[in-house]
Amino acid sequence: MASEATPRVNARYLEAFTNQTVRILGKVVALRGDTATVDASGSVLVHLNRDAHLVPGNAAEVIGKVQPDLSVKVFQAMDFGGGIDFNAVEAVVDATHRYKEIFYEGGE
């Protein structure tokens, strides 16, 4: 069984991935009930599931589906704590979109 590709994206790539599953690494800037705002080279609203335990100020990776309003419905979320080099994260996201053929089967 082949697994679904989860491209690494940030806020500026969301529109290109509407209704698709993506992976976002960013800084949690706010939690409000079942939503969080994540800074991933821009603000991203994420709709959390019950298993998500994020901490404001920490880095977090979310895997979820981009909604038509460009928010993300979270399937899985992981708190990465502090100490993340967001410049490196940005470079990885850019590289995965510039060189798709290396990172994703078929270079989609």
- Write the pLDDT tens digit of every residue in 18-65: 999 999 999 999 999 999 999 999 999 999 999 999 999 999 999 999
What's residue 44's pLDDT?
A: 98
> What is the C-alpha to C-alpha distance for residues 90 and 63, in angstroms, rounded to an integer?
17
- Nearest alpha-carbon partner for 60 in 71, 73, 46, 50: 46
Give the pTM: 0.87
